[in-house]
Amino acid sequence: MIPLSGTPYALSGDIEHEFLARIKEIEERVFLLRNSGTLTETTLLSYYGKKRFEQVAESNAIEGSTLDVGETELAILKGITVTGHDPAYVRDAISLDKALTRLVEIARDRSKVTSIPDLLELHGLILGDRPSGGQFRKDRVRITGATHVPPKTLEAIISAMEEWERWSCTQCEAPAPIRAAVLHAWLTHIHPFVDGNGRTARAVSNLELVRAGYPPIIIRKKERDRYVAALAESDEAGDISSFLALILERVVGALTGLEISAKQNQQYSPLAERIRINQEKQLEVWNKSVSLLSAMIELNLSKHMEQIGGKVYKKDFGGIADIEDFISLCHRTSISRSWSFIISMGIPGAQELAYLGFIGHRSAALYQNLHEGGPSLHWAVARPETVPKWQRALSEAPYAKEITTRLGKGDEWVAVLPDDSIREHTTSELAENIANSLMEAIEKRLTS
């Protein structure tokens, strides 16, 4: 059972069972990796050395920083202002790096649990020389774009944070991913600081994971909309399922990366490195191809919807964020759902119809047809009355129940239709067919 008693959150029985099964699989992978003897000092230095600056850059980018990974590395190592960027972003990079370094030191003591003093120390390092660093706020704040209103007074903040700390202490045996998600979401819910709440919450998540022997996770700027939406859902409805799903996805991605690093440092070969570079290019082509396809679907669909007074809304989530996830898909290994985009269609007087395009590995039929593994785009339909609300769409999928491109060939799409036949299309042909199918679904809803 997931220990949520004493928190603002809850999960339904069915979805709780699913999360526990996924966490058990993750814990087994961590155990095997930690006890296999493959995590040498060289392996750990290799993996964390590459991720250190990426972690700082992405966490700060969520808050508005414009420094990329290379510029962040330069700022941290050289301490110089990067031309063309606000000097404050350089200071933020240096401060967050110091906090993450201290985080690892704190995590070495596995007998401790995350407490308010740990939190205030990390927050003080993150804010650097700003006067509010390491102090709870005394003034009211509002979270931009959110309906949730955090505690208004210092007394209310202290009371809420004491509950936060009490749960942390009493649930010290809870799985690390659960602790990482709950302490993170709850901290942003309370919003105890004037500034730096998000960066501190992400640091707390990684403190929990690193202390338990997990690699740190990275929530990237391209995932910001999904990240914010999941936190808002937990704030407004007390439903932490979407945020927990996101944390688990990032844990799996980070764990896969550490496993790959261990293999590379044990049996490194130039050929393997060239293959990885090629896969990074293939991932870039894939993401751009899916982005173009979704834009063309939206364009085609908008033309049809305008004729009947309807509107189309599309929200992009970035698709595959980690090269490790892409490599897993190429090896036909399952990953957690990686959201690509949501297409919603609204007509006055009718219920909105929405489809989620998410990434998974190729089916056996497509694998046999293409003779290669890789990612496929699948569909889920929104069912607000179910948990989880996004349910896999097969017979009701728009035009095709699975689509993919040949690796590195972004305009050569292959689709598996509902009758299991396989057809090839250009991007424009496929976008038009999907848009037409979505219009048929709308018209069916109007006449039913």
CA 95 to chain centre: 24
Lowest mean pLDDT among 41-50, 172-181, 411-420, 432-441: 41-50
Q: How many DSSP H helices and E strands does the chain contain?
A: 14, 8
* CB-based contacts of 89-92 (< 8 A; 24+ apart in sequence): 89/60, 89/65, 91/128, 92/60, 92/63, 92/65, 92/128
- Listed in sequence order, the residues at least 6 apart from 205 whose beta carbon sits closer than 8 Å to its beta carbon are 180, 181, 183, 184, 217, 247
Report the SS3 class of residue 443: helix
Q: What is the DSSP string of 18-46?
A: HHHHHHHHHHHHHHHHHTSS---HHHHHH
pLDDT confidence of 425, banded at 50, 70, 90? very high
Predicted confidence (pLDDT) per residue in 59-73, tens digit? 999 999 999 999 999
pLDDT greater than 50 at residue 268? no
Could you tell me the two tokens for 135? Answer: 């102090």
Predicted confidence (pLDDT) per residue in 143-193, tens digit? 776 778 889 999 999 999 999 999 999 999 999 999 999 999 999 999 999
* Residue that the structure tokens 């804010």 belong to: 127
- Listed in sequence order, the residues at least 6 apart from 74 whose beta carbon sits closer than 8 Å to its beta carbon are 80, 82
pLDDT of residue 145: 67
Mean of the per-residue pLDDT values of the chain:
88
Q: What are phi and psi of 271, to 5 degrees?
A: -60, -45
Predicted confidence (pLDDT) per residue in 222-247, tens digit? 899 999 999 999 988 889 999 999 99
CA distance 430 to 412: 10
CA dihedral 254, 256, 262, 265 (to 10 degrees): -90
Residue 243 near residue 201 (C-beta atoms within 8 A): no
DSSP state of 339: E
* Residue that the structure tokens 């035009």 belong to: 399
Query: What amino acid occupies position 158?
Result: I
Residue 321 near residue 253 (C-beta atoms within 8 A): yes
Residue 371 near residue 258 (C-beta atoms within 8 A): no
- Listed in sequence order, the residues at least 6 apart from 21 whose beta carbon sits closer than 8 Å to its beta carbon are none
Residue 63 near residue 198 (C-beta atoms within 8 A): yes
Could you tell me the two tokens for 382? Answer: 């929104």
Residue 412 near residue 403 (C-beta atoms within 8 A): no
Higher-confidence residue of 442 and 94: namely 94
Strand ranges, E, within 231-337 = 311-316
pLDDT of residue 240: 93
Query: What amino acid occupies position 367?
Result: Y
Strand partners, 392: 380
CA distance 117 to 164: 12
Lowest mean pLDDT among 207-216, 273-282, 295-304: 273-282
Residue 122 near residue 104 (C-beta atoms within 8 A): no
pLDDT greater than 80 at residue 447? no
Domain spans, the chain:
13-266, 270-447
What architecture does CATH give domain 13-266?
A: Orthogonal Bundle (1.10)
CA distance 180 to 178: 5
**How open is the CA angle 91-92-97, to the nearest 5 degrees?**
100
Could you tell me the two tokens for 366? Answer: 């497509």
pLDDT confidence of 385, banded at 50, 70, 90? low
- pTM for the model stands at 0.73
Predicted confidence (pLDDT) per residue in 188-217, tens digit? 999 999 999 999 999 999 999 989 888 889
Report the SS3 class of residue 240: coil
